[in-house]
Structure 1
């Protein structure tokens, strides 16, 4: 049985959005303009694709990637401006996705959470690498570090 078959179509949309919600949360933590958003969301996509194409990759990630390619799932989750209410909305949607996986695919829950944190780390690395010269692009901003800490706590992974 495919992992996605344990979810309704609407629930699967929520679960499939999880890696992009992680990216959006980090984008909102330290907005870097349109190019920064693009760079960070492409980092999410790259991490998803890399995991999906690993022979031992997580089945849930492989199915998310396949459904993104088939346009069953969407990458478009709206725009985030870093406002506190938007950041809270993104975390709320992520919490819902995590609860769905925990309840309906418990065997994959901890691995999925750990993978989502790797997505977050990859996004932050790309943000640091792509920062314009002179913009402090050699280390995490305090906002990015705080966002990673928030995600680590939410995902239940050590940072």
Structure 2
């Protein structure tokens, strides 16, 4: 049985959105130019693809990747402006996705949470690495570091 069969179509959309919600949360953490936002969302998608093609990849990640390729899942989660209410909305949607996995696929719950945090770290690193020379240091800024701490706490994973 495929993992996604444990979910309704609407629930699967919520679960499949989780890595992009992580990216959106980081986007909202610090003011960014539109191209940086696009790069962060592409980094989230690349993190899905990278994990899905690992020999020991989680089945749920493989299925999310396959459904992204087949355009069954959406990448369009709206615009975020960094306002506190928008950040709270994104965290709420992410919490819902995590709760769905915990309820419907409990054997994958902790690994799914850890993977989502790896997605967040990948997005944060990608943005820091692509910072233009002279635009400040090429490390994860304070707002993004704080967002990573929030995500680690929400997901119940240790922050490295």
TM-score (norm 1): 0.97
Alpha-carbon offset, residue 71 of structure 1: 1.1
Alpha-carbon offset, residue 4 of structure 1: 0.2
Unaligned segments of structure 2, at least 5 residues: none
> 1:31 touches 1:37 (CA, 8 Å); kept in 2?
no
TM-score (norm 2): 0.97
Partner of 1:98: 98
Partner of 2:7: 7
Partner of 2:41: 41
Tell me which stretches of 4 or more aligned residues in structure 1 moved more than 4 Å. Answer: none
Q: Number of paired residues? A: 159
Per-residue deviation, residues 100-145 of structure 1 (Å, max 9, x unmatched): 0000100000000000000000000011111122222322211011
CA separation in 2, counterparts of 1:30 and 1:137? 15
Aligned-partner SS, 1:137 = coil
> 1:40 touches 1:123 (CA, 8 Å); kept in 2?
yes
Alignment of 1:69 with 2:87, yes or no, is: no
Per-residue deviation, residues 28-72 of structure 1 (Å, max 9, x unmatched): 001311110111111111110011111210100000011111111
Unaligned segments of structure 1, at least 5 residues: none
